[in-house]
C-alpha cells in the first residue's frame, strides 16, 4: 500500500501506458463517457464514501467496480475502524480510501449543467507523513482544477482535507474526475457532487494541535553531527544516530556489510549506512537553528555496486534556510569524485536568517543520497572548507506553443478549505483523439538510448541530437495471430508541446539546457502509449578537473602536452583536486606500484590579483598555470592572474605506499565551481579491447573499452590503417571493424576531435594481433522465402522454433497452432503442416523434442491463456491454466494433433508471462521455466501486469521426470482464489528446481553440462519492489539477465508464497549485487531489456565462436528495429567470467540452428522468419571435406536415430563417423555434396561429447579435426 508512483519512464523496455498530462487533458470526459455508457445518471446531491461503507450525511457505500464509476483500476487502503481523524467529526469517511498508480479516474454520469464538486482527502499512510511525498493534480472534465495537491503538506497526517471546485458538464453528461500523480499514488477518501449554492460552504476547521507539519521547532545546539541512516555506535565521537524527524521527502535507508571497508577515512561506520530518495526523487534535511552563519559538512560514500561507474548516480545539492536555498553542487557524482567505497566530504558556509537550515538533495540519475551531516559554528570547523559553488544562471524559459484542433469547454475553480484559502482557474487544454479507458494496453512506446549529456562541440549554443524509438511496438494480434502495427508515431517537446517529428528516429536541434521529450505511438486498436526522455545539451566546458594516470616508470614531470609520450593508461574527473589518501585516487590499470597523475583544468580567477597556490602533498608535485611553472618540490608558489579562466596542469608522482594531494589557493581548498575542463580537448584512453586478434582479411568486430571518447569525430587505427567502420556507443565504448592486415601484432589507437592539435588527441596503443587467414565473423541476414523464392514466407506471429528429428522446423504461433515447415537448403519453405488447434485463446511460448525419443515425432508444447482476466473476462483465480501438451503426427485427423496433456495446472500471468524454455536434460527429464506473475516480487501496484501475486510453482525452473512409470503431472491446489497462500495438493512429480526467476524465455543445455537461461528484467510502473515479505515501494526496472542454473539456487525474484518455507524468497536482489549463500548472481546482465532466445554455437564455420552462447533481442514490428544478437564467450569456463559483445544488429525472438550453420529466428510482430547466414569463403570444390554442423546435436546413448550433417565437399557417397564409430545408412545426399543424413551409432561412453568426421569416398580425403570440444552429445539414457 502506498508505494510511490514512478517518474516518467526511462528508455528501458517498459510498457509506457502513462499518457501525457498536457496532450490528453481535454480527453478525460470523452474517455470516461465511453466507460460509463451503461450506468444511469445520478442526481445531485450525490455522495460516495470512496473505499468505505455507508457514512453519515448521505454518503453511499463504495461497491467497487459494481458502481460503474471507475475508469482506471483502484487499490483499497483501510486505516482501521477506530482510527482518529483530525479536522472532522466524520472519522468514518476517511478511515478508508482508494489509490492507484499514475492516475485515479472516476466517471460519474450526471445531467448536463453546473456543479460543485467536493473531494475529501486524508493522509493515512505513514510512508507519506512528510511534505512532498504524495503530490497529485486534480482535473475535472479534462480541465485543470488544481495542481500539486499535497495532503500532508496542507493539513498533516491523519487529518481531513476538503477541496471544493465548480465545473460545467456538457452534453456528454459525464463528470470526469481525474487525479494525476506527480509523486506517489493519488488517493481520495470521498466525493460529493452538489448543485451550486444548495449546500453551506465547507467550514474551515482550526489547525490540528501539532500545528504546521513542517514547522522548524525549537532551535538545536551546535555542533550537531548526525550519522544519516545509521546509529551512534562505531561512529566518531559526537555523532548521534539518524534523525528521520528532520527529513522531508520520502527516503529509505541503504546499508552495506557491517564490516565493509571505506577508503579515505578512519570512520568507516559513518558511511556504511545512508539514506536515499527512491524513484529518483528528492529529500531535504531541516535543522531548526538560531539566526547566524554556520558551516555545513556533508559526507558521502558510494557503497552500492550498482553505481560503481562514472555517471551512474548523479544528484544536485542545495543549502540555505527556510526562505531560500542555493545550489552548491549542480551535478555531484560521488564515484567520479573519489571512486567506490571511499569517503567524500564537502563543506559549505550557510547564513540562516529564517529557521530552519535546509540541506536539499535532488536526484538526476539514480537516487540522491547522504551518509552524514555536520552543522558547525566558529571553532567547531575542522579541516579544509570548500566554498559553495555559485548558482548557475537559469536558462531562458520557453513559451509554450499549443497545437490543437479544438479546445475543451469545461472550466473549474478551486477553493481551499484548509488553513488559509486559495483559488485556481482551469485552463482548457488541447483536444486529441480520445484514448480507450481500458486498463489493458497494447501499444508500447520505447525510447532508445539517450546520452547523459550532448556536448555543443562548435560552441554555437545548440546541438543536433538523434534518438530512436525503434523498440516501440504493439502487443495486439489479430485472431489468426497476425501482428498489429503502429499507425502513428509523434515526438513532442514535453515542456512546450511542440511537435518535433513523426518518424521512429528523431533528429533535431536542441538548445543548451535540458529538454524533456515525449514519444507517443498509437496502434491499430487506437491504443496510445508514451515514453519519456530528457535531453541535456551542455557546453564543452565541464565541471571539475580531468586527470590522467600513467603507469609505473613514467617520467616526472610529464611533458606539458598530454598528446606526447608517455600515454595515459586511465583517466577520470577529479572534483576539487583533493586526494587526502591513497584510497581517494581512482583505481585503474595504473594502480600497482608508483605512478604519475596529470590533472588538467581551467581555474576561474574571480579578479585580477596575485594568487598563492600550495599543495599539502605526500609524493612529488609540480604545478603549471598558463604553461608557466608555479611550484615544484617546494609545493607553494605565487602567480599574478587576470580575472577569468586560466589553464592549469597539476602533476603528482606517487612514491611508496602513501599518497596525498590537496591543492589550495590562498590557503583554501579550491571550490568545485572554480575549476573546469574542456571536454573537447580530452585525450582518449583505451583500457581494453575484445577480441584482441583476428584474421588477416580483416572484418573482425572489435569492442574497444576506455574513457574519454567524447567528441563526435572519432577515428580508430589498426597500425596506420583506419578501421573499416566505427560505431560510437558511448564515451566509454567503441566498436570498430578491423581492416585487412599483415600477420602479426599492430597497435590499435583511438583519435578523437577533428584536429588533434587543438581538440581531442590520440590514445595509448593497445595490441591487436592478425593471425593467419581466418575468415572474419560475419553474417548476412534475409527473410525465409516462400516456395518460389520470390517473396518472404508469411509466418503469422511465430514465437518458438525447434529443429525436429525429421529435419523439419517446428514453430509455435500466437494463434493457437504449431506449424511444421519443410525448408530447402536455400531457405525456401516447400511444405507446411498446421497442427490441430491448441484451444481457444491459447498461446504457445515454447517447443521441445526429447532427444531420448530418437526419431519419434513427439513434440512437447507449452500452452496457456494469456490476459485471461483483463481481455477475456475469466476470473483471476484461473491463473492455473498453463499446460504441457504432447503433439504427434496423424492424431485427431490432423497432420499434427494433441495426443495427451502431460502436465496441467501450471501458473500463467494475467498478462503475457507463461511457461517457456522447455528442454530435456541428459537423463531425459523435462525442464520448464515457470513465469513470475509479479513485476518485482509483490502484487502491490501490479495492476498493469495483471494484479496477481506469486504461486507455489511460479517464478522458478521446474523439473519433471515425465517418462517415469505413474508420472503425475496433474497439478492441483487447495484453492486458487488467494494465490499468495495457495498450497500445491497434487502433481508432485513436477518439482521446483531453482527459484527467483522473473520472466525467463529461452533456455539451453550447453555441451559443458551447464544449463543457461535468459530472464527478462522488471519494468518501472508494472508493480512495486518487494521489501521483505510485508512491505513494498515503487522502483524503476532494470535490464535482462543470463542465468546459469544450479539446483536449489535463488536468483533474486521474490515469491512470497514459497517464502513461507524459504525466507530467501522474501528479498529482491539486483543484477549487480554480489553472490552469497542466499543469492546466485547472473552470469551476465544487460542494460537493456527484451533479450529472449539463447543457443550454444556448435557450428564449425567460425572456430573462434565454437561453444559461445548467442542471445537474441526481441525485434519489434518496426522496420527500423532489426534486433540484436549478443555473443557471450565463457572465458572463465562453464561457471566463471563471461565476455559480452554485440555480434550482429538483426535478430528474432527465439533461435534455432541449421545444419549449414545458419540461424532461424521468428519475428512475431513482423510476421516473418529471419535467416542469419554466415558469410565466409566457400572451400575450393573437390578439396577437403568440411563438416559444419550435426542436427539434432543430441540423442540417446543407444544411438539408432537419424542426424543431418551439413558442410562442404562431401561428394556423392560420403561416409561418416561419430566418436570414431560409423554413422551408418548414409542417405539423402545433396547433389552438391553439402548435406546428407545417417544413423547414429551407439555411444562408446554415455554422456560423451564426440566429433564428426566425414570422408569423401570419391577423393579418399577425410575431414580435419573439428574445432572445440566436439559436435554431437550423447545422453546418459
Residue where a domain terminates, one of 539, 561, 583 = 539
Bridge partner list, 325: 320
In a domain, 1174, yes or no: no
pLDDT of residue 544: 85
3-class SS string, 847-878: EEECHHHCCCCCEEEEEEECCCCCCCCCCHHH
Q: How far apart are CA 846 and CA 1141, in angstroms?
A: 26
Same-domain status, 959 and 863: yes
Across 987-1044, the runs of DSSP E, i.e. the strands, are 990-995, 1000-1005, 1011-1015, 1025-1027, 1031-1033, 1041-1044
Same-domain status, 938 and 1079: yes
**CA dihedral sign of residues 128, 129, 134, 137:** positive
Same-domain status, 1042 and 1010: yes
In order of 68, 71, 99, 139, 949, the CA distances from 104 in angstroms are 14, 8, 7, 11, 22
Q: How far apart are CA 691 and CA 770, in angstroms?
A: 11
Query: Of the candidates 895, 909, 829, 925, which has an alpha carbon nearest to the alpha carbon of residue 864?
Result: 909
Residue where a domain terminates, one of 1138, 1167, 1196 = 1167
CATH number, domain containing residue 608: 2.60.120.260
Residue 1274 binned pLDDT confidence (cut-offs 50, 70, 90): very high
Bridge partner list, 396: none
Same-domain status, 181 and 67: yes
Same-domain status, 987 and 1013: yes
Residue 1121 has φ and ψ, to the nearest 5°, of -110, 95
pLDDT at residue 40 is higher than 60: yes
Please answer whether residues 313 and 302 qualify as being in contact, where contact means their C-beta atoms are separated by less than 8 angstroms. yes
pLDDT of residue 944: 80
Same-domain status, 764 and 861: no
pLDDT at residue 378 is higher than 90: no
| Average pLDDT value for residue range 520-549 | 84
Give the range of the structural domain holding residue 594, as residue numbers without chain letter. Answer: 543-681
Neighbours of 870 (CB within 10 A): 20
Of 300-304, 508-512, 719-723, the range with the highest mean pLDDT is 719-723
| Average pLDDT value for residue range 1187-1202 | 97
pLDDT of residue 543: 82
Q: Which helix (H) or strand (E) holds 623?
A: strand 620-625
Q: How far apart are CA 503 and CA 389, in angstroms?
A: 42
What one-character-per-residue DSSP string does 590-605 give? T-SSS-EEEEEEEEEE
Q: How far apart are CA 71 and CA 519, in angstroms?
A: 24
Q: Look-up: residue for cell 517447443? A: 847
Same-domain status, 516 and 595: no
Same-domain status, 241 and 299: yes
Higher pLDDT, 1212 or 514: 1212
Name every residue whose Cβ is closer than 8 Å to that of residue 259 and which is 6 or more positions away in sequence. Answer: none
Neighbours of 560 (CB within 10 A): 14
pLDDT of residue 425: 29
Query: Of the candidates 710, 753, 756, 716, which has an alpha carbon nearest to the alpha carbon of residue 729?
Result: 710
Q: How far apart are CA 198 and CA 116, in angstroms?
A: 9
Name every residue whose Cβ is closer than 8 Å to that of residue 82 and which is 6 or more positions away in sequence. Answer: none
Residue 20 has φ and ψ, to the nearest 5°, of -60, 130
CATH number, domain containing residue 1225: 2.60.40.10
HSE on the CB side for 824, CA within 13 Å? 12
Same-domain status, 592 and 675: yes
pLDDT of residue 78: 59
pLDDT of residue 66: 52
Residue 794 binned pLDDT confidence (cut-offs 50, 70, 90): very high
Same-domain status, 505 and 599: no
In order of 98, 586, 747, 752, the CA distances from 764 in angstroms are 61, 18, 9, 12
pLDDT of residue 127: 66
pLDDT digits (tens, 9 = 90+) for 658-680: 999 999 999 887 865 688 888 88
pLDDT of residue 71: 59
pLDDT digits (tens, 9 = 90+) for 1218-1273: 999 999 999 999 999 999 999 999 999 999 999 999 999 999 999 999 999 999 99
pLDDT of residue 76: 65
| Average pLDDT value for residue range 1057-1085 | 94
pLDDT at residue 1110 is higher than 70: yes
Neighbours of 424 (CB within 10 A): 17
Q: How far apart are CA 613 and CA 210, in angstroms?
A: 53
| Average pLDDT value for residue range 399-418 | 28
Query: Of the candidates 98, 88, 36, which has an alpha carbon nearest to the alpha carbon of residue 61?
Result: 98
pLDDT at residue 438 is higher than 70: no
Please answer whether residues 641 and 605 qualify as being in contact, where contact means their C-beta atoms are separated by less than 8 angstroms. yes
DSSP state of 189: S
User: In a 3-state reduction of DSSP, which class is residue 797?
Assistant: coil
Q: How far apart are CA 787 and CA 574, in angstroms?
A: 64
DSSP state of 1263: P
Classify residue 1141 as exposed, middle or buried by CB count within 10 Å of its CB (0-12, 13-18, 19+): middle
Q: How far apart are CA 1020 and CA 279, in angstroms?
A: 9
Per the structure, how many domains does the chain have? 8
Please answer whether residues 287 and 220 qualify as being in contact, where contact means their C-beta atoms are separated by less than 8 angstroms. yes
In a domain, 395, yes or no: no
Q: Which helix (H) or strand (E) holds 29?
A: helix 28-35
pLDDT of residue 70: 62
Bridge partner list, 623: 631, 650
Residue 435 binned pLDDT confidence (cut-offs 50, 70, 90): very low
Q: How far is CA 1265 from the centre of its chain?
A: 44
| Average pLDDT value for residue range 465-487 | 77
What one-character-per-residue DSSP string does 133-178 give? SSEEEEEETTEEEEEEE-HHHHH-TTBEEEEEEEEEE-TT-EEEEE
Of 11-25, 400-414, 644-658, the range with the highest mean pLDDT is 644-658
Read off the C-alpha cell for 1236. 546428407
| Average pLDDT value for residue range 719-743 | 90
pLDDT of residue 7: 29
498-512 exposure pattern, b = at least 16 Cβ within 10 A, e = fewer: eebbeebebeeebeb
Same-domain status, 468 and 324: no
Q: Look-up: residue for cell 546499508? A: 255
Higher pLDDT, 184 or 634: 634
Q: Maximum distance among all alpha carbons in the chain? A: 106
Residue 8 binned pLDDT confidence (cut-offs 50, 70, 90): very low
Listed range (322-326, 335-339, 480-484, 986-990) with the worst mean pLDDT: 480-484
User: In a 3-state reduction of DSSP, which class is residue 832?
Assistant: strand
pLDDT digits (tens, 9 = 90+) for 161-183: 999 999 998 877 889 898 988 77
Same-domain status, 178 and 236: no
Query: Of the candidates 1230, 998, 1270, which has an alpha carbon nearest to the alpha carbon of residue 13?
Result: 998
pLDDT at residue 423 is higher than 50: no
| Average pLDDT value for residue range 562-579 | 88
pLDDT at residue 428 is higher than 60: no
In a domain, 565, yes or no: yes
CATH number, domain containing residue 152: 2.60.120.430
In a domain, 1173, yes or no: no
Listed range (398-412, 910-924, 1164-1178) with the worst mean pLDDT: 398-412
Query: Of the candidates 290, 302, 356, 288, which has an alpha carbon nearest to the alpha carbon of residue 332?
Result: 302
Read off the C-alpha cell for 835. 497442427
Instruction: Give the torsion through C-alpha atoms of 307, 311, 313, 314, to 10 deg.
Output: 160
In a domain, 985, yes or no: yes
In order of 189, 658, 1012, 1079, the CA distances from 1046 in angstroms are 49, 44, 10, 11
Q: Could you give the percent of the chain with pLDDT greater than 90? A: 53
In a domain, 214, yes or no: no
Residue 151 has φ and ψ, to the nearest 5°, of -60, -50
Q: Look-up: residue for cell 580508430? A: 716
| Average pLDDT value for residue range 232-249 | 86
Residue 380 binned pLDDT confidence (cut-offs 50, 70, 90): low
Residue 102 binned pLDDT confidence (cut-offs 50, 70, 90): low
In a domain, 76, yes or no: yes
Q: How far apart are CA 1259 and CA 903, in angstroms?
A: 53
Higher pLDDT, 296 or 1118: 296
pLDDT digits (tens, 9 = 90+) for 189-229: 999 999 988 887 765 444 433 445 556 778 899 999 999 98
Residue 1017 binned pLDDT confidence (cut-offs 50, 70, 90): very high
In a domain, 904, yes or no: yes
| Average pLDDT value for residue range 521-527 | 80
Residue 1 binned pLDDT confidence (cut-offs 50, 70, 90): very low
pLDDT of residue 6: 30
- Give the N- to C-terminal CA distance of the chain in Å, as an integer: 52
Mean pLDDT of the chain: 84
| Average pLDDT value for residue range 985-1003 | 97
| Average pLDDT value for residue range 478-506 | 82
User: In a 3-state reduction of DSSP, which class is residue 1065?
Assistant: helix
Amino acid at each position: 500500500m502506498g508505494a510511490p508512483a514512478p517518474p516518467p519512464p526511462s528508455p528501458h523496455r517498459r510498457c509506457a501506458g502513462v499518457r501525457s498530462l498536457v496532450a490528453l487533458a481535454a480527453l478525460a470526459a470523452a474517455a470516461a463517457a465511453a466507460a460509463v455508457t451503461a450506468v444511469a445518471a445520478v442526481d445531485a446531491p450525490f455522495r460516495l464514501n470512496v473505499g468505505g461503507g455507508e457514512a453519515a450525511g448521505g454518503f453511499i457505500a463504495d461497491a467497487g467496480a459494481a458502481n460503474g464509476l471507475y475508469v482506471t483500476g483502484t487499490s483499497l487502503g483501510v486505516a482501521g475502524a477506530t482510527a482518529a481523524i483530525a479536522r472532522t467529526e466524520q472519522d468514518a469517511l476517511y478511515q478508508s480510501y482508494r489509490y492507484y498508480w499514475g492516475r485515479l479516474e472516476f466517471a460519474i454520469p450526471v445531467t448536463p449543467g453546473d456543479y460543485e464538486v467536493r473531494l475529501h482527502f486524508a493522509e493515512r499512510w505513514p510512508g507519506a507523513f512528510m511534505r512532498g511525498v504524495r503530490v497529485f493534480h486534480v482535473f475535472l472534465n479534462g480541465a485543470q482544477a488544481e495542481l500539486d495537491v499535497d495532503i500532508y503538506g496542507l493539513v498533516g497526517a491523519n487529518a481531513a482535507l476538503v477541496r471544493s471546485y465548480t465545473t460545467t458538464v456538457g452534453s456528454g453528461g459525464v463528470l470526469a474526475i481525474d487525479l494525476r500523480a506527480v509523486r506517489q499514488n493519488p488517493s481520495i477518501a470521498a466525493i460529493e457532487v452538489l448543485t451550486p449554492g444548495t449546500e453551506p460552504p465547507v467550514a474551515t476547521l482550526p489547525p490540528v494541535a501539532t500545528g504546521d507539519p513542517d514547522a522548524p521547532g525549537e532551535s538545536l545546539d551546535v555542533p550537531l553531527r548526525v550519522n544519516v541512516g545509521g546509529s551512534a555506535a562505531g561512529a566518531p565521537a559526537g555523532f548521534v544516530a539518524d534523525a528521520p524527524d528532520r527529513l522531508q521527502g520520502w527516503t529509505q535507508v541503504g546499508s552495506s556489510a557491517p564490516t565493509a571497508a571505506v577508503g579515505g577515512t578512519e570512520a568507516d561506520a559513518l558511511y556504511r549506512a545512508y539514506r536515499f530518495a527512491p524513484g529518483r526523487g528528492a529529500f531535504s534535511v531541516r535543522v531548526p537553528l538560531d539566526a547566524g552563519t554556520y558551516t555545513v559538512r556533508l559526507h558521502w560514500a558510494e557503497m552500492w555496486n550498482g553505481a560503481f561507474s562514472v555517471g551512474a548516480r548523479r544528484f544536485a545539492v542545495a543549502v540555505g534556510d527556510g526562505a531560500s536555498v542555493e545550489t552548491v553542487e549542480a551535478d555531484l557524482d560521488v564515484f567520479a569524485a573519489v571512486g567506490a567505497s571511499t569517503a567524500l566530504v564537502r563543506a559549505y558556509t550557510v547564513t540562516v536568517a529564517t529557521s530552519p537550515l535546509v540541506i536539499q538533495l535532488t536526484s538526476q540519475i539514480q537516487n540522491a543520497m547522504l551518509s552524514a551531516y555536520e552543522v558547525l559554528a566558529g571553532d567547531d570547523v575542522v579541516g579544509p572548507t570548500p566554498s559553495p559553488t555559485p548558482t548557475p544562471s537559469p536558462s531562458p524559459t520557453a513559451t509554450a506553443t499549443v497545437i490543437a484542433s479544438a479546445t475543451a469547454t469545461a472550466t473549474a475553480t478551486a477553493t481551499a478549505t484548509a488553513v488559509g484559502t486559495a483559488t485556481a482557474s482551469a485552463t482548457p487544454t488541447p483536444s486529441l483523439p480520445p484514448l480507450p479507458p481500458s486498463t489493458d494496453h497494447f501499444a508500447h512506446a520505447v525510447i532508445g538510448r539517450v546520452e547523459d549529456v550532448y556536448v555543443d562541440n562548435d560552441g554555437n549554443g545548440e546541438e543536433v541530437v538523434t534518438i530512436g524509438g525503434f523498440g516501440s511496438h504493439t502487443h495486439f494480434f489479430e485472431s489468426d495471430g497476425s501482428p498489429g502495427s503502429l499507425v502513428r508515431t509523434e515526438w513532442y517537446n514535453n515542456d512546450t508541446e511542440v511537435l518535433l517529428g513523426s518518424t521512429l528516429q528523431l533528429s533535431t536541434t536542441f538548445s543548451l539546457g535540458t529538454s524533456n521529450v515525449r514519444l507517443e505511438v498509437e496502434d491499430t486498436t487506437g491504443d496510445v502509449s508514451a515514453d519519456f526522455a530528457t535531453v541535456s545539451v551542455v557546453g564543452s566546458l565541464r565541471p571539475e578537473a580531468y586527470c590522467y594516470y600513467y603507469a609505473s616508470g613514467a617520467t616526472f614531470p610529464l611533458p606539458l602536452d598530454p598528446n606526447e609520450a608517455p600515454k595515459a593508461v586511465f583517466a577520470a574527473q577529479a572534483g576539487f583536486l583533493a586526494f587526502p589518501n591513497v584510497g581517494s585516487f581512482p583505481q585503474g590499470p595504473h594502480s600497482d606500484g608508483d605512478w604519475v597523475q596529470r590533472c588538467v583544468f581551467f581555474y576561474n580567477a574571480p579578479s585580477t590579483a596575485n594568487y598563492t597556490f600550495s599543495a599539502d602533498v605526500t609524493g612529488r608535485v609540480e604545478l603549471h598555470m598558463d604553461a608557466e611553472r608555479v611550484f615544484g618540490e617546494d609545493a607553494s608558489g605565487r602567480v599574478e592572474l587576470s580575472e577569468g579562466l586560466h589553464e592549469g596542469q597539476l602533476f603528482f608522482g606517487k612514491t611508496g605506499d602513501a599518497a596525498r594531494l590537496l591543492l589550495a589557493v590562498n590557503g583554501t581548498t579550491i571550490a568545485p565551481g572554480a575549476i573546469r575542463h574542456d571536454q573537447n580537448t580530452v585525450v582518449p584512453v583505451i583500457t581494453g579491447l575484445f577480441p584482441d586478434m583476428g584474421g588477416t582479411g580483416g572484418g573482425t568486430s572489435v569492442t574497444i573499452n576506455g574513457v574519454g571518447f567524447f567528441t563526435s569525430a572519432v577515428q580508430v587505427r589498426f597500425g596506420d590503417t583506419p578501421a573499416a567502420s566505427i560505431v560510437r556507443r558511448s564515451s566509454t565504448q567503441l566498436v570498430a571493424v578491423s581492416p585487412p592486415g599483415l600477420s602479426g601484432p599492430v597497435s590499435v589507437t583511438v583519435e578523437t576531435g577533428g584536429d588533434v592539435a587543438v581538440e581531442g588527441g590520440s590514445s595509448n596503443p593497445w595490441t591487436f594481433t592478425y593471425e593467419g587467414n581466418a575468415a572474419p565473423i560475419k553474417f548476412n541476414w534475409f527473410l525465409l522465402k516462400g516456395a518460389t523464392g520470390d517473396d518472404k514466407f508469411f509466418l503469422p506471429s511465430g514465437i518458438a522454433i525447434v529443429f525436429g528429428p525429421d529435419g523439419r522446423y517446428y514453430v509455435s504461433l500466437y494463434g493457437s497452432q504449431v506449424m511444421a515447415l519443410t525448408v530447402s537448403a536455400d531457405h525456401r519453405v516447400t511444405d507446411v503442416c498446421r497442427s490441430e488447434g491448441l484451444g481457444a485463446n491459447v498461446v504457445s511460448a515454447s517447443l521441445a523434442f526429447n532427444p531420448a525419443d530418437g526419431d519419434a515425432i513427439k513434440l512437447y508444447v507449452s500452452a496457456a491463456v494469456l490476459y485471461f482476466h483483463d481481455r477475456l473476462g475469466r476470473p483471476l483465480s484461473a491463473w492455473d491454466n498453463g499446460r504441457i501438451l504432447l503433439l504427434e503426427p496423424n492424431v485427431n485427423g490432423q497432420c499434427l494433433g494433441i495426443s495427451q496433456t502431460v502436465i496441467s495446472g501450471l501458473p500463467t500471468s494475467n498478462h503475457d508471462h507463461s511457461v517457456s524454455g522447455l528442454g530435456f536434460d541428459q537423463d531425459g527429464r523435462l525442464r520448464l521455466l515457470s513465469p513470475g506473475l509479479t513485476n518485482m516480487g509483490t502484487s502491490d501496484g501490479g495492476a498493469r501486469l495483471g494484479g496477481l501475486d506469486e504461486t507455489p510453482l511460479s517464478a522458478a525452473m521446474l523439473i519433471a521426470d515425465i517418462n517415469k512409470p505413474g508420472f503425475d503431472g496433474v497439478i492441483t491446489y487447495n484453492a486458487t482464489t488467494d494465490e499468495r497462500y495457495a498450497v500445491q495438493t497434487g502433481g508432485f512429480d513436477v518439482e521446483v528446481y531453482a527459484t527467483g526467476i522473473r520472466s525467463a524465455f529461452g533456455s539451453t543445455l550447453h555441451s559443458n553440462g551447464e544449463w543457461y537461461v535468459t530472464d527478462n528484467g522488471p519494468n518501472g510502473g508494472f508493480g512495486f519492489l518487494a521489501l521483505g515479505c510485508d512491505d513494498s515501494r515503487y522502483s524503476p526496472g532494470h535490464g535482462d539477465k543470463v542465468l546459469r542454473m544450479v539446483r536449489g539456487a535463488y536468483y533474486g525474484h521474490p515469491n512470497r508464497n514459497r517464502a513461507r518455507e524459504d525466507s530467501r524468497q522474501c528479498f529482491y536482489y539486483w543484477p549487480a549485487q554480489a553472490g552469497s549463500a542466499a543469492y546466485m548472481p547472473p552470469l551476465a546482465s544487460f542494460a537493456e531489456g527484451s533479450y529472449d532466445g539463447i543457443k550454444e554455437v556448435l557450428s564449425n564455420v567460425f572456430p573462434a565462436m565454437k561453444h559461445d552462447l548467442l542471445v537474441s533481442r526481441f525485434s519489434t514490428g518496426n522496420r527500423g528495429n532489426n534486433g540484436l544478437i549478443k555473443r557471450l564467450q565463457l572465458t572463465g569456463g562453464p561457471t566463471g567470467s563471461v565476455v559480452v559483445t554485440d555480434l550482429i544488429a538483426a535478430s528474432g525472438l527465439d533461435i534455432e540452428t541449421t545444419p549449414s550453420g545458419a540461424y532461424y529466428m521468428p519475428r512475431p510482430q513482423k510476421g516473418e522468419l529471419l535467416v542469419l547466414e554466415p558469410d565466409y569463403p566457400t572451400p575450393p570444390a573437390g578439396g577437403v571435406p568440411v563438416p559444419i554442423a550435426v542436427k539434432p546435436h543430441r540423442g540417446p546413448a543407444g544411438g539408432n536415430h537419424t542426424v543431418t550433417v551439413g558442410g562442404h565437399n562431401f561428394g556423392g557417397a560420403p561416409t561418416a563417423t561419430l566418436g570414431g564409430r560409423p554413422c551408418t545408412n548414409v542417405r539423402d545426399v545433396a547433389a552438391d555434396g553439402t548435406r546428407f543424413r545417417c544413423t547414429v551409432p551407439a555411444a562408446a561412453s554415455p554422456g560423451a561429447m564426440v566429433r564428426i568426421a566425414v570422408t569423401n569416398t570419391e577423393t579418399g580425403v577425410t575431414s580435419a579435426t573439428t574445432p572445440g570440444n566436439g559436435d554431437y552429445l550423447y545422453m546418459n539414457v
